[in-house]
Amino acid sequence: MALLMAIAITPGVYNFRQMLWHTPQTASITAIAPAAQPAMLLVDSGSGLNLDLLEASRKITYQLGRNIFEMQPLAPRQTKAPDKAEDMRGKSPEPPPTPVAPSIPLKFYGFSKKQGDQKKVFLQNGDRVFVAELGNVIDRRYRVVQIRSNEVEMEDMLTNNRQTILLSAR
């Protein structure tokens, strides 16, 4: 155990010592500050910076309402302050629209009943045909809730939407 502790502590002490006695590296960028201008950086022209564009961007001042991500400034917008008394008089808050659950895409074509078995329904979704009993889940989403002679009641388990599907002629 002592050997493992010695191995683990050695890199930690080394890193800690480097952090305490670390001297900053000198950069090739130097700052100059004439009396009339703010400090400017002189950068070697081989670094890929376009100094003319940099100088032109320093001369642009930020104005309220200007989008700094567009090349040209936007025209100031004329907005009318809404009158609070006018807002309170004429308008009543509208209730949010009620969400409409999507319809169940299954078609009911019939049922069968054998002696001693539960009723089985025949349902179709596109090219697929399903045979299900009461309580079965179809297409990992729709549950058979009730079976009658001319309709079947289905429940969409994702939205808890119940829908009655009538017997359709083929």
Cα–Cα distance for residue pair 5/162, rounded to 1 Å: 65
Q: Is residue 134 one of the residues assigned to a domain? A: yes
Q: Is residue 111 one of the residues assigned to a domain? A: yes
Q: Is residue 13 one of the residues assigned to a domain? A: no
Q: Is residue 52 one of the residues assigned to a domain? A: no
Q: Is residue 144 one of the residues assigned to a domain? A: yes
Q: Is residue 140 one of the residues assigned to a domain? A: yes
Most confident of 9-23, 80-94, 96-110, 147-161: 147-161
pTM value? 0.42
Q: Is residue 154 one of the residues assigned to a domain? A: yes
Q: Which range marks the domain in which residue 121 is found? A: 107-166
Average pLDDT for residues 127-145, to the nearest whole number? Answer: 92
Q: Is residue 37 one of the residues assigned to a domain? A: no
Domain count, the chain: 1
